[in-house]
Amino acid sequence: MAKPTGFLEIERHERGYRKADERIRSFDEFVVPLGDEGVATQATRCMDCGIPFCHTGCPVNNLIPDWNNLVQRGQWQPALRLLHSTNNFPEFTGRICPAPCEAACTLNIDNNPVTIKTVECAIVDKGWEEGWILPQPPARRTGKRVAIVGSGPAGMAAAQQLARAGHGVTVFEKSDRIGGLLRYGIPDFKMAKLLIDRRVAQMTSEGVEFRTGVEVGRDVTLASMRDRYDAVVMAGGAEQPRDLEVPGRALDGIHFAMDFLTQQNKRVAGDSEAVAAPTGTLSARGKQVVVIGGGDTGSDCIGTSIRQGATSVVQLEIMPRPPEQEDKALTWPNWPLKLRTSHAHEEGAERDWAVLTKQAVGVHGRVEALECVRVEWVRGASGRVAMQQVAGSTFRIPADLVLLAMGFTGPVVPGLVEQSGVALDPRGNVAATDHDYRTSEARLFAAGDMRRGQSLVVWAIREGRQCARAVDEALMGRSLLPR
């Protein structure tokens, strides 16, 4: 039983960060763990609610009060078991998840949620440290073969689950390393890539075969895969970035965020510049950087730019500045729309809201500035909120490097998706329910961003796990894998 008065007696205390001016000198992770005792104390704040709203706040439905309870009593190993029972990769989510669980925490009714993410991360980090996390090869093989296209968190989660169920699993990855967006979309200072390698090693021991540098749909046809495998899981992500359709877009110096981030991740991984940037180096060093898009990727661009030595970083967002504090009465336990300040912002970036980019201007084909206008969001007669430009508010921002971080519109269609012939949903994602994950084509499943559209890593893990169960059920008639 949790300590009933823990939440009254103990203050919320988060993991610390190395100081901004110190941490921006490297691409290393800068989170300072709380230590076992600190984590256990924080876990004591959990009230073990009659309805743990965190359960459903969390997309993988982590059994949060239960492992809080164990950590509190120093039972780290059972806590790890419990954590792994819902989440294949807690070290990923423990670092980069925005933690909707904490938003749903009962103590968030007055802004003091349990530090769930910190506890999660501590449990799994300790597990690796202590050598508790070992391969779990299946006791029996089913003789069935499953191909998984895409090695992001969805593909990896599906692969691990299916391998543990005894199926022969092969993961196809078009890049040179495993991990998808997790590998190249997220800077190392947020999550060290060693973590992915460790999991790949574990999964290899569990019987998963990884094939990198193979793009299904280009290097091999999907048809041939369907011949060779009993089932194919499409987990290729939603990689089609939203573009900035304004005059001057073609100017040099305007790039998609992913192109920029991938290069830096490869450099950190030790790749030569030729390998890291085959189409030419993108660097923020000495530049005035403008990031368009106010989300997590935008933040990653900021942190990377600052570490590369940008002279200034400005982030633009088309939506109005959200309130500092949501209306709890009407939002909790749901995910609130509110002003979020990331670590990257603390490292030195300006933010501007309700700004629409009208055009990019430059000389000699290089971008020099962005011309923007302020916008208002007005509720129309139909009840719909629409954007209106504010007359006379046009202004310019100097820009040497413009990074487009406005999200993704859906999966890339040419290649795999096109070849597969699967039906798409109205939003352009591969159509399948989150119940059976079946596409319109037989033995072809879809999971992760490819099915649900751009989302969080934690959602990808959920999709991967649930899809694995659906595949297992389809292959074997019944499944013991948890959903």
Partner 1 sequence: MDMPQRQGLYDPRNEHDACGMGFIANIKGVKSHDTIRRGLQILVNLDHRGAVGADPLVGDGAGCLIQIPDALLRHWAGTHDIVLPPAGRYAVAMCFLPRDAAARATAENLVAQVVQAEGQALLCWRDVPVDTSGLGERVIETMPVIRQAIVACPAAMRDQDAFERKILTIRKQVLNNVRALSAQSHLPGLAELYMPSFSTRTVVYKGLLLAPQVQSFYADLRNPMTQSALALVHQRFSTNTFPSWRLAHPYRFVAHNGEINTVRGNVNWMFARRHAMSSPLLGADLDKMWPLIPHGQSDTACLDNALEILIAGGYSLAHAMMMLIPEAWAGNKLMSPERRAFYEYYAALMEPWDGPAAIAFTDGRQIGATLDRNGLRPARYVITDDDMVILASETGVLPVAEARVVRKWRLQPGRMLLIDLEQGRIIDDAEIKQTLAGEHPYEEWLRATQVKLEDLPNGEEPAAPRDNASQLNLQQAFGYTEEDMQLFLEPMARDGDDPIGSMGTDTPIAVFSRKPKLLYNYFKQNFAQVTNPPIDSTREELVMSLVSMIGPRPNLLGHHAGTHYRLEVAQPILTNGELQKIRRISTQIGGAFRAETIDATWLAAEGEGGMASAVERICREATEAVLAGFNILILSDRAVSAERIPVPALLATAAVHHHLIRQGVRTGTGLVVETGEAREVHHFCALAGYGAEAVNPWLAFETLEQIRVQEGLALSAYEVRKNYIKAIGKGILKVMSKMGISTYQSYCGAQIFDAVGLSTAFIEKCFTGTATTIEGAGMAEIAAETVLRHRQAFGDDLVYRDMLDPGGDYAFRLRGEDHVWSPDTVADLQHAVRGNSQDAYRRFAARINDQGRSDPSGRLLTIRGLMEFRDADRPVPLDEVEPASEIVKRFATGAMSFGSISREAHTTLAIAMNRIGAKSNTGEGGEEADRYVRLPNGDSERSAIKQVASGRFGVTIEYLTNADDIQIKMAQGAKPGEGGQLPGYKVDKNIARVRYATPGVGLISPPPHHDIYSIEDLAQLVHDLKNANPRARISVKLVSEVGVGTVAAGVSKARADHVTISGYEGGTGASPLTSLTHAGSPWEIGLAETQQTLVLNGLRGRIAVQVDGGLRTGRDVVVGALLGADEFGFATAPLIAAGCIMMRKCHLNTCPVGIATQDPVLRRRFTGTPEHVINYLFFVAEEVREIMAKLGFRTVSEMTGRVDRLDMRRALDHWKAAGVDLARILHQVPPRADVAIWNSERQQHHLERAMDVDLIAAAKPALERGERVRISREIRNVHRTVGTMLSGEVAQLRGHAGLPAGTITIALRGTAGQSFGAFLAHGITLDLQGDANDYVGKGLSGGRVVVRQPDGVARDPAQNIIVGNTVLYGAIAGEAHFEGVAGERFAVRNSGAVAVVEGTGDHGCEYMTGGVVLVLGETGRNFAAGMSGGIAYVHDPEGRFATLCNTAQVDLEPVAPEDGDADDAEYPQAEPPSVADNGMGDPLRFDAARLRILVERHARLTGSARATALLTDWPAALGQFVKVMPRDYRRAMQDLRTERAALMVAEQ
Binding site for partner 1 (CB under 8 A): 1, 4-5, 7-8, 47-53, 55-57, 61, 63, 65-66, 69, 73, 75, 78, 81-82, 85, 104, 106-107, 109-110, 139-140, 164-165, 329-334, 435, 480-482
SS3 of residue 230 by DSSP: coil
Q: Which is nearer to partner 1, 140 or 364 (CB)?
A: 140
Q: Strand 208-212 and strand 366-379: pairing?
A: unpaired
DSSP class of residue 168 equals: E
SS3 of residue 476 by DSSP: helix
Q: Which is nearer to partner 1, 41 or 106 (CB)?
A: 106
Q: Which is nearer to partner 1, 12 or 18 (CB)?
A: 12
Gap between the Cα atoms of 155 and 464, Å rounded: 6
Q: Which two tokens stand for residue 26?
A: 């490297």
> Cβ 182 to partner 1, closest distance in Å?
24
Using alpha carbons, select from 391, 378, 359 the residue that is nearest to residue 292: 359
Q: Which is nearer to partner 1, 86 or 263 (CB)?
A: 86
> Cβ 153 to partner 1, closest distance in Å?
19
Angle at 296 between CA 120 and CA 327, to 5 degrees: 80
Gap between the Cα atoms of 240 and 188, Å rounded: 23
> Cβ 219 to partner 1, closest distance in Å?
33
> Cβ 458 to partner 1, closest distance in Å?
14
Cβ–Cβ < 8 Å for 236, 246: no
Gap between the Cα atoms of 428 and 450, Å rounded: 9
Spacing of C-alpha 189 from chain mean position: 14
Q: How far is CA 21 from CA 26, 173, 377, in A?
A: 10, 37, 37
CA-based Rg of the chain, rounded to a whole angstrom?
23
Q: Which is nearer to partner 1, 175 or 334 (CB)?
A: 334
Q: Which is nearer to partner 1, 53 or 408 (CB)?
A: 53
Alpha-carbon dihedral sign for residues 447, 449, 450, 452: positive
> Cβ 329 to partner 1, closest distance in Å?
4
Q: Which is nearer to partner 1, 75 or 440 (CB)?
A: 75
Q: Which is nearer to partner 1, 283 or 334 (CB)?
A: 334
Q: Which two tokens stand for residue 207?
A: 């019987």
> Cβ 119 to partner 1, closest distance in Å?
18
> Cβ 325 to partner 1, closest distance in Å?
15
> Cβ 284 to partner 1, closest distance in Å?
42
